[in-house]
Structure 1
């Protein structure tokens, strides 16, 4: 065994002797808990799929003080969850700030800490090592010995991530089975900057941005697809969304297809406010998928997966209409004609 693996195992608590208690049915394990901390210092989409958990917990435990830890990549989601959390903390990934944060969090005297990750996180594991709390809860996985209590991991091949996370309601005596779960956002948060005046047409939004270059469908594919849509549908207007690093691609696509470029903004709230005006959205697998679910916008989502059918359940829009296109190759190998067929199916529903 190499040194790297030994360090990783230590971080995940594998050398600890004590096993966590398994909570596999609804029972009130922490009746005296007054203040809890949730660990969610990852990406935008991870916060969005946690909203159903937060909403149910807040509705059922109205006196519970809920604090949550966000990170650099998802701190802009804070307005989306402020109604469910008493305080939002920021994790900045450097040693000096982390030491300061741990001291501040320990002064809060949390009764309980919950790790919301369903994959083992080294950051969460390290934080759990240094944060003081009598009880620490997580989903059953590789770093399970960092917890005092665990809930079973629901099948990653069959169960949506939203439903895997709400299993963490079990120690609060809440049965997650049969709950009406939605990714909901307060519409009042979003500006009404009108992209296109609503007339007798539908708006198709195309999101170019993904979490990595591998999630870019390619300029020529977008141009071809938009021109196919324009040829077939006279009642559809197309808006192209992009982050600042894809501005040149956005401009080229719009010039060669007569689509409308959406204003580029660094504000997540402004971006989502514009997305909200669309009747349909085409996007790679990214956080936009979950905004589609929040506003019930029918979506076409492009996924690159290791195998078909995928062994792990893909993060599709939850409880919302969508069409998924899967490939085991790069996304740019998906043909525009394939996407057109899926749009035709979506448009006809």
Structure 2
């Protein structure tokens, strides 16, 4: 594809959740590869900034909470609005960034001057592929790149200390994260607990990670307080996942965090098309796309005879998937 523009700097804008941010980082990786010499920035939120800072493809991480953020944004030549919101589109327009790229299908898309005509609502592609397509107005045509994160040495060191206190050796355990941000149907707490019991019976150690508001759930899954790692900074959590043999969880940011640091990640997904593994599965490990054996559906109803369909996936099936990958 012929390159139409050659900006010297590119600001990627994604101000939603951790998993969404991680699946956007391949845009930075592709820009670095195909636009030689370009400076890449990433506009996010305070709580996702430590994740962005682990990407070797991002030169500068900015947050919308900074007092002088509009002034800082005005220095960039081009911006890509990955997750379209009216507030972010208006911010790009007001700061006068010359090239403003985003979807053509929002009522406020007139605030952008380089548009991509692609609907995401049909979810025929993975989120990474949709994100990469936003580089097309800059002459970059890429369909797939896995996100890559590098855990800082100090975070890895602290992760090792936490595992030592839990009497767990690095690379000899499975990480389980049963909490979900609510963006998709979760597996039941009972299923996560059953999986933990199967792992224990087979002599495989595990730890259960939990964020704010998830401690009670984590303790239920773990069968007590032992082996629960609660409310650690995100880079230390990344270190724990980096040191694990495998990760199991729902469709959540922690799954993509584990996947991006190179750990085989296994996610339990519903068959609702817009939240399916086809759209949101772990990038590196397609064996970790675990869903019920049902056709994709367009709407999720509590009256559905399969609701919640995620619970049709058995703990034994997940255990076998993990063992197969670890054995390979």
2:169 is the alignment partner of 1:197: yes
Aligned-pair CA distance for 1:271: 0.6
Contact 1:323–1:342 under 8 Å retained in 2: no
Q: TM-score, normalised by structure 2?
A: 0.79
2:74 is the alignment partner of 1:146: no
Aligned-pair CA distance for 1:222: 2.9
- 1:92-128 CA-to-partner distances (Å, cap 9, x unmatched) read 2xxxx67x4324433x2x32222122xx312222213
Q: How big is the alpha-carbon RMSD for the aligned residues of Structure 1 and Structure 2?
A: 3.2
- 1:10-46 CA-to-partner distances (Å, cap 9, x unmatched) read xxxxxxxxxxxxxxxx332223x22332211111112
Give the length in aligned residue pairs: 304
C-alpha distance in 2 between matches for 1:214 and 1:50: 19
Q: Which residue of 1 aligns with 2:100?
A: 136
Q: Which residue of 2 aligns with 1:79?
A: 53
Q: Which residue of 2 aligns with 1:264?
A: 230
Q: Which residue of 2 aligns with 1:299?
A: 265
Contact 2:198–2:316 under 8 Å retained in 1: yes
Q: Which residue of 1 aligns with 2:125?
A: 159
In structure 2, the CA distance between the partners of 1:52 and 1:105, relative to structure 1 (3 Å rule), is closer
Structure 1 gaps, min length 5: 1-25
- 1:158-189 CA-to-partner distances (Å, cap 9, x unmatched) read 21111111112223332214x6x221112445
2:306 is the alignment partner of 1:338: no
2:74 is the alignment partner of 1:114: no
C-alpha distance in 1 between matches for 2:184 and 2:132: 30
In structure 2, the CA distance between the partners of 1:151 and 1:312, relative to structure 1 (3 Å rule), is farther
User: What are the within-5 Å matches in structure 2 for residues 1-349 of structure 1?
Assistant: 26-31=1-6, 33-81=7-55, 83-92=56-65, 100-106=68-74, 108=75, 110-117=76-83, 120-142=84-106, 143-153=108-118, 156-177=122-143, 181-189=145-153, 190-192=155-157, 193-194=159-160, 195=163, 196-197=168-169, 202-212=172-182, 217-231=187-201, 233-234=202-203, 236-255=204-223, 260-304=226-270, 307=272, 313-320=278-285, 321-326=287-292, 328=300, 334-335=310-311, 338-349=314-325
Aligned-pair CA distance for 1:205: 1.5
Q: Which has the larger radius of gyration?
A: 1
In structure 2, the CA distance between the partners of 1:157 and 1:279, relative to structure 1 (3 Å rule), is same
In structure 2, the CA distance between the partners of 1:335 and 1:182, relative to structure 1 (3 Å rule), is closer
C-alpha distance in 1 between matches for 2:174 and 2:188: 18
C-alpha distance in 1 between matches for 2:273 and 2:8: 46
Contact 1:67–1:88 under 8 Å retained in 2: yes
